[in-house]
Amino acid sequence: MPPVSDNTGPTDDLDVLVVGAGITGIYQLYRALEAGFSATLVEAGAGVGGTWFWNRYPGARFDSESYTYAYLFSKELFDEWEWQEHFAEQPETERYINHVVDRFDLRRHMRFGARVSAAEYDEPTGMWNVTLGDGTVLRTRFFIAATGVLSVPFFPAVEGRDDFHGQSLHTGLWPSTPVDFAGKRVAVIGTGSSGVQIIPAIADEVASLTVYQRTANWCTPLNNAPITPDEQRQLRADFEAIRETLNTSVSGFLHTAHDRATFDDSHEERQAFFEKMWNSPGFSKLTSHYTDLLFDPAANAEWCAFIADKIRSIVSDPETAEKLIPTDHRFAEKRPPFVTDYYETYNKPNVSLVDLKQTPIVRMTANGIETAEGVREFDIVVWATGFDFGTGALARMGIRGRGGLALTDYWADGPKTFLGVHTVCLPNLFFPGGPHAAAGNNPRYNGDQVDFVTDTLVYVRDHGYDVIEVSAAAEERWTSMIDRGAALSTSFGESSYFFGTNIPGKPRKYLLNSAGRPKLFKEISRVRENNYDAFELSRASASSR
Ligand SMILES: Cc1cc2nc3c(=O)[nH]c(=O)nc-3n(C[C@H](O)[C@H](O)[C@H](O)COP(=O)(O)OP(=O)(O)OC[C@H]3O[C@@H](n4cnc5c(N)ncnc54)[C@H](O)[C@@H]3O)c2cc1C
């Protein structure tokens, strides 16, 4: 069903202001309009796509299967978009998101190049005054920050970073005009999920490629492939079943869970299963693996030993191979990257690896990078150094709630949330796709949250209220459940950026939903069954309704 509300005036008082034109914010705008609210979306970037607008570096692509990441709210949309590959590359995803926006006539409700720099809650009216970078102030009843968990690129504090005279690029802020790598001396700093995608993608084009690795990661093959015409037909035929699985599965993927533990199998059976896993698509190495992979350190070590042997068998230089094998964390303690020809790239004569644990970067110079071993000169330096995960964007919006309380003060020791969408003292503000939400295929979790937020706003409106705020007790219950769950071995470990570990000074608090999606479903049902009693509902004293 297309959106019904047709407000176009972003300067009018709004029912709903959405921030962020990523996969979450676009769906939130769609749902708000469909529910009859006047709504506008503002986006800092010049176009839609969020992650898929900013991360346009060579090799950027999904780790989720394309059709499982896509929107599921419209069968017609699902039918008419033919994904080319099981794991689509960035340009295809950006095209898809633009198609959705035009297909549902959402663009006229959007404003680009509009970065929110301040947002203040006005207690007497229960409205938010939201200031954009150009000084425009928008007034809105409900303020929904769909600002993403990976939308604030992070640069490590390397001395002289600005002294470098060549081209300096962050994977998460990639220019929209093509970068000419041909014949260039290129450095890539960082070997997380983005670094390991760009490295093989540019290796053949550049004169030389030097990879600066801080942490070796447990990379396994993505196993991407084009979607055949038969598979396309099957996807369409199975739409209802696919939607049902994706809407209910624990991690929002289609992969089937395994039913055996590592040591149920003999050594030979185990090696055969590991081989099958190695050749399986993307995240199934987590979701379809032995049931004890994340619980039993001995089981995890078996799989790690298998990957280490794979690395040694692929990388011809033994010294380079050893540098590429992690020694400081188990598989899935950090977010495991998925790769295409990554290890093979180190066999190319123009590619070399610098282990920053052995030879840290001393400083950037005008011409290159200086380590303890001297200066290497470069034309281009690529910073694949990640993001201020989870809370980064929310912390940079100048949000002040009841009594002028700054969100950054309230969250000084880490985020406190209810269901990962709302927090005390910020009435009428929601942040689907923010901290304490995800633990799998993002659009599925974020979509659950958008649906919940929309239904909540409808409940508030239809019951004659205009202010909603979660109770401190409900927030405390959800947050302490997240923190308790984070200590379990099934969660990513404390060395992961999911704890904010990559950002100096950031509190070490778990930023995903450690209890998983079933707990989110359960709590959402509980809220509904109990008529939203986790929230306090009221009318603002100066309400105009
Ligand atoms: C390279 C890469 C690959 C990924 N691959 C996958 C994958 O395969 N599967 C998966 O599930 N997840 C993946 N992710 C995670 C990804 O971030 C989420 O899937 C998804 O993009 C979340 O969508 P979103 O709309 O919540 O946030 P985003 O896509 O990050 O969009 C948020 C938007 O908010 C805007 N914004 C932020 N602050 C402000 C402000 N103050 N004012 C105005 N606008 C603002 C940003 O500009 C951005 O456009 C990947 C992430 C990266 C970086």
Report the half-sphere exposure of 87 (CA within 13 A, side-chain side).
21
**Backbone conformation region of residue 17, classed left if phi is above 0, alpha if psi is from -120 to 50, else beta:** beta
Report which residue type is found at 382.
V
**Is residue 258 within 8 Å of 69, Cβ to Cβ?**
no
Instruction: Report which protein residue has its CA nearest ligand 1's atom 49.
Output: 50
CB atoms within 10 A of CB 1: 8
**pLDDT for 6:** 46
pLDDT of residue 541: 81
Q: Which atom of ligand 1 is nearest to the CA of 444?
A: 11
Cα separation, 317 vs 419, whole angstroms: 48
Which ligand 1 atom is nearest residue 87's CA?
8
Are residues 27 and 48 in contact, defined by beta-carbon separation less than 8 angstroms? no
Task: Identify residue 284 by its one-letter amino acid code.
Answer: S
- pLDDT tens column, 129-187: 999 999 999 999 999 999 999 999 999 999 999 999 999 999 999 999 999 999 999 99
What one-character DSSP code corresponds to residue 439?
A: S
Is residue 25 lining ligand 1, measured as CB closer than 6 Å?
yes
Q: What is the mean pLDDT of residues 279-296?
A: 95
Asked whether 50 lines ligand 1 (CB < 6 A), one says yes
Stretch (H or E) spanning 235: helix 229-237
How high is the pLDDT of residue 195? 98
Whole-number Å distance between alpha carbons of 267 and 275: 12
Q: Which of 285-299, 399-413, 482-496 has the lowest mean pLDDT?
A: 482-496
Q: What is residue 163's DSSP assignment? A: G
> What does the DSSP 8-state code read for residue 257?
P
CB 525 within 8 A of CB 451: no
- Token pair for residue 85? 């590959």
Average pLDDT over residues 107-118: 98
CA dist., res. 221 & res. 285, Å (int): 9
Q: How far apart are CA 42 and CA 147, in angstroms?
A: 10
Measured between alpha carbons, how far apart are the two ends of the chain, in Å?
Answer: 28
Q: In the structure, what pLDDT confidence band is assigned to residue 543 with cuts at 50, 70 and 90?
A: low
At 35 the pLDDT is 98
Single-letter amino acid, residue 483: D
Q: CA 470, CA 536: separation in Å to the nearest integer? A: 6
Take residue 409 and report the two structure tokens written for it. Answer: 């003060």
Do 417 and 434 form a contact (C-beta atoms < 8 A)? yes
Q: What is the pLDDT of residues 197-222, one digit of tens each?
A: 999 999 999 999 999 999 999 999 99
Token pair 């998101």 is found at 97
Place of tokens 């960035």: 90
Confidence at residue 545, expressed as pLDDT on a 0 to 100 scale: 55
pLDDT one-digit tens code per residue, 329-380: 999 988 899 999 999 999 999 999 999 999 999 999 999 999 989 999 999 9
**Axis crossing angle, helix 229-237 with helix 239-248, rounded to the nearest 10:** 70
Asked whether the predicted pLDDT for residue 313 surpasses 50, the reply is yes
- Between CA 347 and CA 161 the distance in angstroms is 30
pLDDT > 90? residue 86? yes
**Cβ pair 151, 388 in contact under 8 A:** no
pLDDT at 379: 98
51 lines ligand 1 (CB under 6 A): yes
C-beta of 22 in contact with ligand 1 (< 6 A):
yes
pLDDT of residue 10: 43
Q: Determine the Cα–Cα distance for residues 126 and 142; give it in Å rounded to an integer.
A: 9
262 DSSP assignment: G
Q: Whose CA is nearest to atom 26 of ligand 1?
A: 148
Using most ligand atoms within 8 A of CB, pick from 111, 138, 150 the residue to mutate for ligand 1.
150
Average pLDDT, the chain: 94
> Which pLDDT score, from 0 to 100, does residue 544 have?
56
Indicate whether residue 29 lines ligand 1 (CB < 6 A).
Answer: no
Contact 383, 375 (CB under 8 A): no
Residue 538, exposed/middle/buried by CB under 10 A (0-12, 13-18, 19+)?
A: middle
Pocket test for ligand 1, best of 442, 444, 449, 512 (most atoms within 8 A of CB): 442
Per-residue pLDDT tens for 484-537?
A: 888 776 667 777 777 788 888 888 888 878 788 888 999 999 999 999 999 999
The Cβ-side half-sphere exposure at 71, using a 13 Å CA radius, reads 28
* Cα separation values, 44 from 56, 112, 114, Å: 16, 6, 5
At 80, is the secondary structure helix, strand, or coil?
helix
- In the prediction, which pLDDT does 9 show? 42
Residue 542, pLDDT above cutoff 90: no
441 lines ligand 1 (CB under 6 A): yes
Q: How confident is the model at residue 2 (pLDDT cuts 50, 70, 90)?
A: very low
Question: Both tokens of residue 432?
Answer: 């689907």
C-alpha–C-alpha distance, residues 178 and 48, integer Å: 19
Quote the pLDDT of residue 318: 98
Question: What local confidence, expressed as pLDDT, does residue 45 receive?
Answer: 98
Q: How far is the CA of 28 from the centre of ligand 1 (A)?
A: 14
CA of 150 to the centre of ligand 1 (A): 5
**Ligand 1 nearest-atom number relative to CA 20:** 34
Reported as a single tens digit per residue, the pLDDT across 425-473 is 999 999 999 999 877 899 999 999 999 999 999 999 999 999 999 999 9
Ligand 1 close to Cβ of residue 390 (< 6 A): no
Phi/psi at 447 (5° precision): -65, -40
CA of 323 to the centre of ligand 1 (A): 31
Question: Cβ(415)–Cβ(436) under 8 Å?
Answer: yes
Instruction: Output the CA–CA distances (angstroms, integers) from residue 151 to 172, 214, 242, 394, in the order listed.
Output: 8, 22, 29, 10
Sign of the CA dihedral with 524 first, then 428, 98, and 6 last: positive
pLDDT tops 50 at residue 104: yes
Token pair in block for residue 132: 């954009």
Q: Is 23 in the pocket of ligand 1 (CB under 6 A)?
A: yes
**Residue 47 CB–ligand 1 contact under 6 Å:** no
Residues forming beta bridges with residue 143, ordered by sequence position: 17, 429
